[in-house]
């Protein structure tokens, strides 16, 4: 009971003024986020370029295989 009386008699804490730096990441946070986003964009473009290159190489190998088979069988290659 005494604890309740003491708790009720205590004053509420005054309003605390929160500084903007308490909840904002600031310049360092912005630069870190920008760096991660820039790295992700670079990786996406680089991976797209590499996948495209591999796909084109596979198409060329397939065409060369068809031409080689046609030359070995002495028949004209089928047109696509």
Per-residue pLDDT, 76: 58
- In this predicted structure, the answer to whether residue 80 has a pLDDT above a threshold of 70 is no
76 in Cβ contact with 67 (< 8 Å): no
Is the model more confident about 55 or about 7?
Answer: 55
Task: Quote the CA–CA distance of 72 and 69 in Å, as a whole number.
Answer: 5
77 in Cβ contact with 66 (< 8 Å): yes
Task: Give just the sign of the alpha carbon dihedral 31, 37, 39, 45.
Answer: negative
Please state the pTM of the whole predicted model. Answer: 0.54
Per-residue pLDDT, 43: 99
Tokens found for residue 26 = 């600031």
What is the CB neighbour count within 10 angstroms for residue 49?
10
Mean pLDDT estimate for the chain: 86
Is the model more confident about 6 or about 27?
Answer: 27
7 band by pLDDT with thresholds 50, 70 and 90:
confident
**Domain coordinates in residue numbering, the chain:** 42-74
Within its chain, how far is the Cα of 23 from the centroid? 25
């Amino acid at each position: 009971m005494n604890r309740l009386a003491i708790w009720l008699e205590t004053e509420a804490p005054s309003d605390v003024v929160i500084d903007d730096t308490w909840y904002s990441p600031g310049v360092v946070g912005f630069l870190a986020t920008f760096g991660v986003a820039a790295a992700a964009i670079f990786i996406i473009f680089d991976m797209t370029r590499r996948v495209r290159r591999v796909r084109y190489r596979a198409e060329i190998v397939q065409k060369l295989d068809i031409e080689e088979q046609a030359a070995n069988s002495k028949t004209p290659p089928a047109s696509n």
